[in-house]
Amino acid sequence: MYNTDLPNRADLPSTRQLLKSTVWATIAAAALLVTIVLPSEYGIDPTGAGRLLGLKSMGEIKQSLAKEAARASQTAASPDTAIVPPSSAAPPSPPGTALAKPDSPAAASPAAGDAPAVRTDEVTLTLKPGEGAEIKLTMAKGAKVRYEWVVTGGLVNFDTHGDPVQAPKGFYHGYGKGKGAPQDKGDLVAAFDGAHGWFWRNRSDATVTLTIKTGGEYSAIKRVT
């Protein structure tokens, strides 16, 4: 015995109606994929609607930042990276000064139990249009750094992220991203032992100068790219 009335057979949708609804749903999903998802996520705009809606540039920026972060992570694992030797009394680097290699490779990999050095540095970079650069700090887990960087002559896209010691392939840990930025400042707290810092790319039509000041608990500073 049923508690509710069963629908009449005539009230049920026919196979043709169900097929028609499925076709229309598929068409709608495909339209959303082509006009919204592909432009906003991957920068692919076959219809031109993404450009009109401002979604294509969003997708291109996402893809650009993802590629830059991947390249930065791969470069950070290279043993040929230039590193400043750790020093608790290291003075700020003069603008434009090249970063020197360490006396020992161990400077790039802080031990978990080592007390972090307290130091300050200032580095100035010159970036041509489209050129990128990355600065990393060697930090122990929980170490804190106060930073401030300023761009003169234009704007940059940036990606703040970290790489643990012996990071697995494809690893990515981000602290924040931005586009068209003239400056940024704040505190960076290391989520793990390893290299933590910033990648910038000049998205202006002219050469820019970027100066970053850091101060806190890190044992070395290096320019990766």
Q: Enumerate the domain spans of the chain.
A: 10-67, 83-223
Task: Check whether 6 has a pLDDT greater than 70.
Answer: no
Q: What is the CATH number of domain 83-223?
A: 2.60.120.380
Taking only the tens place, the pLDDT of each residue in 169-198 is: 889 999 999 999 999 999 999 999 999 999
What average pLDDT does range 70-81 have in this prediction?
A: 50
Taking only the tens place, the pLDDT of each residue in 108-117 is: 444 444 555 5
Give the residue with greater pLDDT, 168 vs 33.
168
Distances (CA, A) of 175 to 143, 171, 207: 14, 14, 27
Query: What secondary structure does DSSP assign to 41-81, as a single string?
Result: II---SSSHHHHHTHHHHHHHHHHHHHHHHHHHHHHT-TT-
Average pLDDT, the chain: 78
Task: Check whether 120 has a pLDDT greater than 80.
Answer: yes
pTM higher than 0.75, yes or no? no
